[in-house]
Structure 1
Amino acid sequence: MKLLGRASLSGVVGILISLALLFVPAGTFRYWQGWVFLTVFALATWIPTIYLMRTNPAALERRMHAGPTKETRPVEKAIIVIAFASLAAMVVVSVLDHRFGWSVVPQAVSVIGDVLVVLGLTLAMLVVVQNGYAAANITVESGQSLASTGLYGFVRHPMYLGDVVMMLGVPLALGSYWGLLFVLPGVAVLVVRIRDEESLLEQELSGYQEYEHRVRYRLAPYLW
């Protein structure tokens, strides 16, 4: 199947899954936070996807080569499963929180959450634009060069920083504070993935150990 067809199919499947995760636990379609979140998420992923399709289809191909079955390292297979499950649980609990009023989130805070989702996804896609080898699974390709400038000059894993920003925004966008609890396991999974990824990069990507000495922080400046 051609890249456009697979990207379109992936987008449709993603929308259907999102509709189920949002509106089944909500028990209603009268849930403006869910609709705004779905629209924001779709636009923030599809606009960069179309851009990559036109400018760097190889990078888009690497990003679509995702999921636990695409990983070759057992620890990464487990990490991807846990990450997907954690994100799905975050969404469902956030929707249930809003439905049953476990916490009261002002509308303005939900809008801020949507902004964080956009910022996180945009940061992640900017990484792909800068580094076409930023694949969804951990691998080092023949001839792959080291990305060490731009966003990579601030932290060694800027895409994962974008993931953290997005995770902070999702519960707020959906009208929940309790959903923020799932940020903790989400970040823990990223920490394990980063450590495993760096062990591979140190062995297989030329210049990576020197890069680690130049850019000290992995995920967040001045923190870790």
Structure 2
Amino acid sequence: MVRNFAIQALLGGMFQVLMFPLILFLAAGTLAWPAAWIFLVLLYGFVSVTARWLSRRNPGLLEERMSMFKSGQSERDRLFVPLVVVCMVWLALMPLDAVRFHWSWVPVWLQVVGALALIGSFVFMFLAFRENGYLTPTVRIQKEREHKVISTGLYQYVRHPMYSGFLLFFVGTALLLGSVYGLLFALVLCGLFAWRAVREEHTLLVGLPGYDAYMARVHYRLIPRVW
């Protein structure tokens, strides 16, 4: 039963990720792009490991992450879903910049730094999944699962380690793929995710008992000693 669910979840996750190679290589106009292949290997590896782990430890969370919309999510969060479209525009911009039109150039050593940042982002995200069984893609109070405050692991240092991982993901991906314009766009995405973290906390403060005390103990949202 667990094995069948793992296979279904893995296939579902891979289906969601198929948009990445389609957008990258169609926009680039070629398959001969080593940086993109490195990116995809790292991405698929992370998705595979995480899906398998969640299928064993928290299949309910894995199932919920396969859906963008859930009952009980706030209207504010539902309106933020178009961020996914913005991310796809960002993904298409990078191959246009780095491969098809060569608008900008990134040295190899910075691409290596980007690959390391990307790996670091996946580590952050996996550790966040490991600690927080309520880490759904949309913001809602999960009363049916007795939602409670998580304050262990990375949550001892920042209140939104998953979003911290996304910041590294955006910057690391742009550097690895060799796109300065993608990096500038990544900074915009980082700002949008920071804005979402603030909005998410409004929901948690109102609906999740103990979150105000947690905010008083852990002062930083995304980056320790910074913000």
Q: TM-score, normalised by structure 1?
A: 0.90
Output the amino acid matched with 1:124.
M
Q: Which residue of 2 aligns with 1:28?
A: 30
Are residues 3 and 31 of structure 1, via their aligned partners in 2, closer, same or farther at CA, if it must alter by over 3 Å? Answer: same
Percent same amino acid among aligned pairs? 32
Q: How many residues align?
A: 220
Instruction: Tell me the equivalent position of 2:50.
Output: 48
Q: Is the 8 A contact 1:86 1:185 kept in 2?
A: no
For the 8 Å contact 1:123–1:162, the answer to whether it is kept is yes
- Aligned counterparts of 1:44 and 1:12: Cα–Cα separation in 2: 11
Partner of 1:132: 133
Question: What's the counterpart of residue 124 of structure 2?
Answer: 123
Greater shift, 117-126 or 155-164, is seen at 117-126
Compared CA separation, residues 16 and 148, structure 1 to 2 (3 A): closer
Distance, in Å, in 1 between the alignment partners of 2:32 and 2:155 is 42
Query: Which residue pairs with 2:154 in the alignment?
Result: 151
Q: Check the 8 A contact 1:90/1:171 in 2, yes or no.
A: no
Alpha-carbon deviation of 1:76? 1.2
Unaligned runs of 5+ in 1: none
RMSD: 1.8
Shift of 1:191: 2.4
- Decide whether aligned partners of structure 1 residues 6 and 137 sit closer, same or farther in structure 2, where only a CA change above 3 A counts: farther
Distance in 1 between residues matched to 2:134 and 2:198, nearest whole Å: 19
**Offset at residue 11 of structure 1 (A):** 3.0
Residue type of the alignment partner of 1:39: V
1:81 and 2:85 correspond: no
- Tell me how far 1:187 sits from its aligned partner: 1.9
Q: Normalising by structure 2, report the TM-score.
A: 0.89
Q: Alignment partner for residue 193 of structure 2, among 170, 179, 190?
A: 190
Unaligned runs of at least 5 residues, structure 2: none
Q: Does 1:96 align with 2:99?
A: no
Cα deviation, residue 75, structure 1: 2.0
Q: Secondary structure at the match of 2:43?
A: helix
Cα 1:203–1:163, aligned 2, differ >3 Å: closer, same or farther? Answer: same
Distance apart, 1:5 and its partner CA: 5.4
Give the corresponding residue for 1:219: 222
Whole-angstrom CA distance in 2 between matches of 1:58 and 1:70: 13
> What do residues 149-199 of structure 1 show as CA deviations (whole Å, max 9, x unaligned)?
221110111110011011111111111111011123212221222122111
Which region of structure 1 is more displaced relative to structure 2, 6-15 or 121-130? 6-15
Q: Retained in 1: the 8 A contact 2:115–2:173?
A: yes
| Cα distance between partner residues in 2 of 1:191 and 1:126 | 19
Letter in 2 for 1:36: I
> Quick check: 50-59 or 120-129, which moved more?
50-59
| CA contact 2:95–2:177 (8 Å) conserved in 1 | yes
The answer as to whether partners of 1:56 and 1:132 remain within 8 angstroms in 2 is yes
**How far apart in 1 are the matches of 2:131 and 2:14?**
27
For residues 181 and 61 of structure 2, what CA distance do their matches in structure 1 show? 36
CA shift at 1:220, angstroms? 1.3
Select the residue among 173, 179, 185 that pairs with 1:176: 179
